[in-house]
Structure 1
């Protein structure tokens, strides 16, 4: 009389056991395939070694940058020994699209995935990569800088368009006092002076801040089809033009020179820039030995050497060239972007 319920129970147990067995096999096969794929990716990439660990922005003898090597640590802020840039990397777990650091402060421009489209935000970090402040961004991150002592940060986003190469783009550049939280949301609100005369126009764009100190900075202003190097003053809220055809300036550690992108005649409209250095005392400009197109805001590794990115197998490699026009370009770090070094840049 009890055999029917018992048979049904046994059949149910057998069915459940079979389902669990098949699920285990499927999961195991998936994990094995993923491991094999990961091994193949690593073997194919031949990229630099990256491991998780502690990263700080004030450790002596270290450089920090966005790691571009394929794998679980891609896009994380990483550090490497400054005297061995091709050596093992330590990844922080903090992911950024754009990054810069100075004076123990970092600024990280991030993508926030999800929803109908990506959103973006700026995160101000302390020396241990802990979040201090957070701000929503109005567009796609493109440039970021920190003042030499870490008290002021700046960022630029594309509000429309996604390239400086053409003319159909609009930027927004913000400057933040880290200590007080005072935020200048758009430097286009500053008074602009061209040839010492006030200039107002609907087509003004500002981008590429580089700091002299907490109050003074340099940047690019575009208006009327021309780009200008401007000196900015946060107290007077002014931008004063100094020199034409300057984009994405980077101030030398001693404050006397600007490295920048210059549009050169005869170059392709898709690759118009070459890397130049401007003497701020004489306004004499000179080309570097790098003859390829540079679409980056260079960084001064020291008083004599510029670091900049060029396309590479992983998206970006870092190159160096002497700032005085001598020497030749050379790769300093593969699979890397947005470097920061001790001192001003």
Structure 2
């Protein structure tokens, strides 16, 4: 092949590569444009004011997953009409929870090379009161019933609870004083009545009691998980029951609903929802046959809500907390709900 022909082949090849690159960029731009367009069959979302203020009427505030310009924003719907039109706030959260006019929003800050994350404490108008850098990927968030305490969990190694190769960091914040416990590993742990020290100990999934002092959470160590009861004043956690992950305390403080690993289920979907009576330690399997990787939220003293995969990423479902009934879809394209009075 002559030099001239070689040059012509090279020019042609470069032209093909340039065309392919241009097509790829246009395709990506088109996909991004499609993501920002509301789906005709999706929930109706409009911009407006979202309040966490008590007394504003029974409602659900949650992360809206509907495609369109308001995806990932905190949105609200009437509790009596969860499938109705939703109002979007403009505030974006990966995880969220709220109570008594205080919210915690775990956010991503997009960088040129890597993302960083932060926890933002919100007032009842969704205005930032304080923020804290996070050491990993957000996964769980809770606020105590009176709004004083906030907690969050991040992955600092690994990115899934399904396997065993992960590490978490769970922080607890006094929102009144600003005092932050950066990791529950600073607390003294008791396992089966004996003070426990192990480098592999992890905590996640805090849920607060209404006495402004106690909480429940998951402690993992030695390849096992345990329900623990924490004492914020004594700075201790004490094991209560094995094989408990992501507990959620009922409004009356008598039960926790949690995900439990069940022998024989697939390794990537190993959980079923259970309720535990804290007085008797009796377990009851809930009527949800699918694997739920979420920390449920109590709708009331009888029903829990949780997320499962859906067409928009996740949908929210409810099921009775006593083992009766069957699951029901609460709303499409939603995640991380908080029920507000």
Same fold, TM-score > 0.5, yes or no: yes
Deviation at 1:269, TM superposition (A): 0.7
C-alpha distance in 1 between matches for 2:262 and 2:52 = 36
Give the aligned partner of residue 216 of structure 1: 214
Deviation at 1:60, TM superposition (A): 1.6
C-alpha distance in 1 between matches for 2:108 and 2:37 = 24
Deviation at 1:51, TM superposition (A): 0.2
Deviation at 1:42, TM superposition (A): 3.3
Give the aligned partner of residue 42 of structure 1: 38
The question of 1:244 aligning with 2:242 is answered: yes
C-alpha distance in 2 between matches for 1:60 and 1:202 = 47
C-alpha distance in 2 between matches for 1:281 and 1:315 = 37
Give the aligned partner of residue 100 of structure 2: 103
Q: Pick one of 291, 294, 300 that aligns with 2:292.
A: 294
Give the aligned partner of residue 46 of structure 2: 51
* Equivalent residues in 2 for 1:2-17, closer than 5 Å: none
C-alpha distance in 2 between matches for 1:244 and 1:218 = 13
Q: Pick one of 143, 153, 177 that aligns with 1:146.
A: 143
Give the aligned partner of residue 68 of structure 2: 71
Is the alpha carbon distance of 1:39 and 1:142 closer, same or farther for their aligned partners in structure 2, counting shifts above 3 Å?
Answer: closer
Q: Pick one of 251, 258, 281 that aligns with 1:253.
A: 251
Is the alpha carbon distance of 1:69 and 1:40 closer, same or farther for their aligned partners in structure 2, counting shifts above 3 Å?
Answer: closer
Q: Pick one of 66, 78, 89 that aligns with 2:86.
A: 89
Is the alpha carbon distance of 1:132 and 1:41 closer, same or farther for their aligned partners in structure 2, counting shifts above 3 Å?
Answer: closer
* Equivalent residues in 2 for 1:312-323, closer than 5 Å: 312-323=310-321
Q: Deviations over 1:36-66 (max 9, x none)?
A: x6599534x5110000000001222211000
Is the alpha carbon distance of 1:84 and 1:194 closer, same or farther for their aligned partners in structure 2, counting shifts above 3 Å?
Answer: same
Give the aligned partner of residue 136 of structure 1: 133
- In structure 2, the gaps of 5 or more residues are 1-25
Preserved CA contact (<8 Å) 2:95 2:140:
yes
Query: What secondary structure does 2:117 align onto?
Result: strand
Q: Deviations over 1:114-167 (max 9, x none)?
A: 132000000000111011110000000000000000011000000010001111
The structure having more radius of gyration, on CA atoms, is: 1
TM-score (norm 2): 0.88
Ranges of 4+ aligned residues in structure 1 off by more than 2 Å: 37-43
* Equivalent residues in 2 for 1:98-247, closer than 5 Å: 98-213=95-210, 214-247=212-245
Preserved CA contact (<8 Å) 2:58 2:339:
no
Q: Deviations over 1:92-114 (max 9, x none)?
A: 00000000001110000000001
Q: Deviations over 1:234-257 (max 9, x none)?
A: 111100000000000000000000
Is the alpha carbon distance of 1:39 and 1:164 closer, same or farther for their aligned partners in structure 2, counting shifts above 3 Å?
Answer: closer
C-alpha distance in 2 between matches for 1:60 and 1:94 = 21
Query: What secondary structure does 2:185 align onto?
Result: helix
C-alpha distance in 1 between matches for 2:86 and 2:337 = 13
Q: CA RMSD in A?
A: 1.9
Preserved CA contact (<8 Å) 2:38 2:66:
no
